[in-house]
Amino acid sequence: MIEIKDKTVYCQTQNTSYWFGINDYQHPVHYYFGPKIPLQDVAPLQRDHVVAYGSSVELGYLYSLDQEALEISFSGKGDFREVAYEISDLKQDALSHLRVTKVFLNDHIDFPKAFFYPRITDSVQQVVVQLVDDYHPIRLELFYTVYEEEDVILRHQRIINEGADIVLINRLMSLQLDLNEQGFEVITANGTWGREAQLTKDRINSGTLIHQSRTGASSNLSNPGLILKKPQICYGFNLIYSGNHYNSVSVNYDGSTRVLSGINPQTFSWNLKPQESFETPLAICTTGHTEAQVSNHFHQFIKNRIVPTAPFPKPITYNHWEGTFFDYNHKKLISFAKKAKECGMDLFVIDDGWFGKRDQDNCSLGDYFENTNKFPQGLKNTIQQIRDLGLKVGLWVEPEMISEDSECYRQHPHWVVGKPNHLRAKGRNQWILDLCQTEVQDYIVDHVGRLIDEYQVDYIKWDMNRHHSDQFSCVLENQKEFDVRFQMALVSILRRIFIERKHVFLEMCSSGGNRFDLGMLSVAQQIWTSDNTDAMDRLKIQEGTALFYPLSVLSNHVSGKINTQTLRKTSLSTRFNVACFGALGYELDLNLCSKVELDEIKEQIEFYKKVQELILKGDFMVTETDNPNRVCWQVKNGKQALVGYFGKMNSGLQPREKLRVLDLESQTMYSIESKPQRLMLDQFGELLKHVAKFPIHPYGSIMNLLSHYKTIQDGVFKTSASGALLAQGIVLNDLYLGTGYHESIRLWGDFGSTLYVVKEIENET
């Protein structure tokens, strides 16, 4: 609900309030953002201007912009903090003075047309603040779109050139939030390739903390999601944008905190021609008492309003990439497809290498014509055979890129990003296609569209495997427009291909999670979380990603026994127990799996299908444990929860362990049962000599053969408890300590884990 009263705008959502107003100087000032409070006069929230700071600059008696909580800031009139708006004329005259001329409820919802935006329904309202700049002939509009149900406020800005000359936009952030308090911890998800979304917590007491991307994508270096946390209050932000972003948090000398979020001004400027307008991407902001509440608001909003409706249940994917890399052909794929189907998988993805002469990563990007060596009878034939087995089929593409060794490059050398006749940096042996050229956009739309239609694929994995460099396009007058123009073109390409092909399930990928953002999720149902499939590393990667994004969009695969990134050996059960917290897939050489491994995969898939709704629709949270060697995740939906309890390094000295499950009905009784899982015999080494009924070499060929067929049960656990007791913790069964075996002992070793299913016990009447 939005109410405008006496120059104050009250935005009320189900659980939060956002209030701002227009002061006597016609500046938009911030009053309150936090847990919901009933409407009242804002006088107690207004600053009483009774003292002046010695060296400050005043626009009126005791009125200094540097000490005001503003909704939009500009430089040149005494606000010395980082500002949200900076424009100039071509002579670099950058003086500005923004004043509000009008505030009104919009009779329709205006969103930036060149970028993705969320779904709108009746319960959404928008208020617009219109401003003029005394020094430039522009009109600026600040938009606040209120999603009452999801407790989310969207912010964006539009600038219109009403003069006769070009105006240069040097920065225009999507969001500014000035809070009259300090002492926040700033939580972000940073990293790099294979180490995405590592949560970092920085306490900021002075100066400015900047998290940004300059790579041409939201990047694996710094995700655009941001949380500010204090003991009683948290604020959460994110951008619906996939390009270079900039999030800054500054603490001012007067104890206030300014948050700015939007397009990275360091890599941006824009020539705004007469009568033209420029709109920023949308920024999400939300608030709650705790980090978990903010995370939950993000999740609900993304599920309800951003991600295109996905088929449910989601297909369980088989992808051969880690099992083969480029070394595959028709025969190998069919043998995998048969096993994938037997195990219960639904979708078979043919990854990189099916086109051109691509047997390595140094050629053929741009030439999406089937590789006749790998598919002598044609790719259509392979696809048909896979489909005949009862599987859906998907293809990998990397449409924004071009290989030097490709027909595409030989025919269109001028399509490559960068200055002609200069050395252009390559990444993974490839260059970038200049999406700013309309000819290139049409080529991608036609090419990918043709592929989907001709091969009738059900799924596309859209990859993008390098950071941008050499940002120069022969069609641009101002090269600092490159990054944003590239994003606008990408949005337009994706819309043109996928809006009319809604049946295609789209998974985004960028060397794993290099573009895990709300821009991509506006068109794709899920994103490949990381190229790093090591279960232990994934505990951190998935946890960081899941703080900002719901489990339903995290694509996770169970990969081989010895991880190709870390060389770590992890049990099949733990690989699954981690991967199942999201959209599940398998990515290993199925021909190398033993009979018992294939049986276990089959059981895992049967189990996952039963709890998929709980996982993909439920509320996820990380539960704190006393033991730094343990990680505990839970996802809860209605009367059920699934808990993942994971161990890192084992030790014979593990203290007694408690399992806590939160947010259940305290008076209700629940059953708690471990998911059955198998232990492979080859895990026990010489111990087997002591239990075997006949002499056996623990590392010999008979043992090897036996371990293909025999397994033992691990850590069977079953009990019941009330929700209240589960919140305090129930005692778990013992870990193996070297003294005997019982089926309820947890034989975890290093990197062990167990899943627990928690279900409400229906009262018998």
Which residues inside 309-368 make contact with ligand GLA, applying CB under 6 A?
A: 321, 351-352, 361
Q: CB nearest ligand GLA: which residue? A: 352
DSSP string, 438-483: HHHHHHHHHHHHHHHHHHT-SEEEE---S---S---TT-SSGGGHH
* Least spacing, CB of residue 531 vs ligand GLA, in Å: 5
Identify whether the C-beta of residue 464 lies closer than 8 Å to the C-beta of residue 433.
Answer: no
CA distances 543 to 37, 303, 536, 748, Å, are 32, 18, 11, 22
313: preceding bond cis by omega (within 30 degrees): yes
Contacts of 537 (CB under 8 A, 6+ apart): 194, 195, 530, 565, 566
* Least spacing, CB of residue 352 vs ligand GLA, in Å: 3
For ligand GLA, give the closer residue by CB, 528 or 670.
528
For ligand GLA, give the closer residue by CB, 265 or 585.
585
* Least spacing, CB of residue 354 vs ligand GLA, in Å: 11
* Least spacing, CB of residue 192 vs ligand GLA, in Å: 14
- In 332-410, at which residue ranges do the beta strands (DSSP E only) sit? 347-350, 392-397, 401-403
For ligand GLA, give the closer residue by CB, 585 or 723.
585
Query: What's the CA gap between 645 and 554, in Å, rounded?
Result: 19
Identify whether the C-beta of residue 732 lies closer than 8 Å to the C-beta of residue 718.
Answer: no
* Least spacing, CB of residue 557 vs ligand GLA, in Å: 9
Identify the CA nearest to 144 among candidates 169, 131, 163, 125. 125
* Least spacing, CB of residue 115 vs ligand GLA, in Å: 24
Identify whether the C-beta of residue 330 lies closer than 8 Å to the C-beta of residue 383.
Answer: no
For ligand GLA, give the closer residue by CB, 67 or 529.
529
* CA 426 to chain centroid: 26
Contacts of 743 (CB under 8 A, 6+ apart): 712, 713, 714, 715, 716
Calculate the dihedral angle through the C-alpha atoms of 402, 404, 408, 411, rounding to the nearest 10 degrees.
Answer: 140
For ligand GLA, give the closer residue by CB, 280 or 511.
511
Identify whether the C-beta of residue 682 lies closer than 8 Å to the C-beta of residue 721.
Answer: no
- In 638-732, at which residue ranges do the beta strands (DSSP E only) sit? 640-647, 658-659, 669-674, 678-680, 711-713, 718-722, 730-731
Pick from 143, 235, 396, 516 the residue near ligand GLA by CB under 6 A: 396
* Least spacing, CB of residue 263 vs ligand GLA, in Å: 26
**Count of residues of this chain found to bind ligand GLA when the rule CB under 6 A is applied:** 12
For ligand GLA, give the closer residue by CB, 136 or 538.
538
Identify whether the C-beta of residue 505 lies closer than 8 Å to the C-beta of residue 311.
Answer: yes
For ligand GLA, give the closer residue by CB, 264 or 529.
529
* Least spacing, CB of residue 23 vs ligand GLA, in Å: 51
For ligand GLA, give the closer residue by CB, 320 or 412.
320
Q: Residue 425 carries which side chain, given as an amino acid letter?
A: A
DSSP string, 54-83: TT---SBTTB-GGGS-BSS-BSSSS--S--
Query: What's the CA gap between 203 and 229, in Å, rounded?
Result: 9
Catalytic residues: 463, 531
CA distances 88 to 91, 264, 332, Å, are 7, 17, 61
Identify whether the C-beta of residue 281 lies closer than 8 Å to the C-beta of residue 112.
Answer: yes
Which residue has 């695969």 as its token pair? 557
* CA 264 to chain centroid: 19
Pick from 430, 465, 542, 574 the residue near ligand GLA by CB under 6 A: 465
Which residues inside 484-513 make contact with ligand GLA, applying CB under 6 A?
A: 509, 511-512
* Least spacing, CB of residue 358 vs ligand GLA, in Å: 9
* Least spacing, CB of residue 321 vs ligand GLA, in Å: 5
Number of residues in the chain: 765
Contacts of 602 (CB under 8 A, 6+ apart): 342, 343, 344
* CA 639 to chain centroid: 27
Query: What's the CA gap between 499 and 521, in Å, rounded?
Result: 14
For ligand GLA, give the closer residue by CB, 279 or 531.
531
For ligand GLA, give the closer residue by CB, 10 or 459.
459
For ligand GLA, give the closer residue by CB, 352 or 537.
352
> Parallel, antiparallel, or unpaired: how do β-strands 630-637 and 277-279 relate?
unpaired
What stretches of 627-737 show up as alpha helix (H) in DSSP? 687-691, 701-706, 723-728
For ligand GLA, give the closer residue by CB, 269 or 430.
430
Query: What's the CA gap between 712 and 708, in Å, rounded?
Result: 12
- Tokens encoding 504: 């295609």
For ligand GLA, give the closer residue by CB, 528 or 620.
528
Which residues inside 509-538 make contact with ligand GLA, applying CB under 6 A?
A: 509, 511-512, 528, 531
In the chain, what is the greatest distance between 2 CA atoms, to the nearest angstrom?
Answer: 96
Which residues inside 190-249 make contact with ligand GLA, applying CB under 6 A?
A: none
* Least spacing, CB of residue 325 vs ligand GLA, in Å: 8
Q: Is 270 in the site for ligand GLA (CB under 6 A)?
A: no
Q: Return residues touching ligand GLA (CB under 6 A).
A: 321, 351-352, 361, 396, 463, 465, 509, 511-512, 528, 531
